[in-house]
Amino acid sequence: MAVATMTSKGQITMPQAVRTALGLRPGAKVDFVAEGDGFRLVPLKTDVSALKGRFAGRVAKPVSIKAMNDAIGEAASARQRKPGR
């Protein structure tokens, strides 16, 4: 049996044995499924097939590596110019 304590914010740290058994890594998402008088923890699987159709109809024109690098440089410069940085 694995036990965890809930913080005042409602957070728990899942015991390592449970994370390992479920194959969970940092950032993983889980679903809490009501079952009888408790809940079952179900890991949510994210794979490429979950994205199927999400970008249908969106066609972007090709962009060169130079254009990408220029845009990144401009965005980084803009962030540096913000007050408080």
Q: For 5-59, write each residue's pLDDT tens digit.
A: 999 999 999 999 999 998 898 988 898 999 999 999 888 887 667 667 767 777 7
In a domain, 74, yes or no: yes
Determine, yes or no, domain membership for 17: no
Is the sign of the CA dihedral 16, 26, 52, 33 positive or negative?
positive
Whole domain around residue 71: which residue ranges? 51-81
24 inside domain: no
pTM here?
0.48
Domain count, the chain: 1
Q: Is residue 55 part of a domain?
A: yes
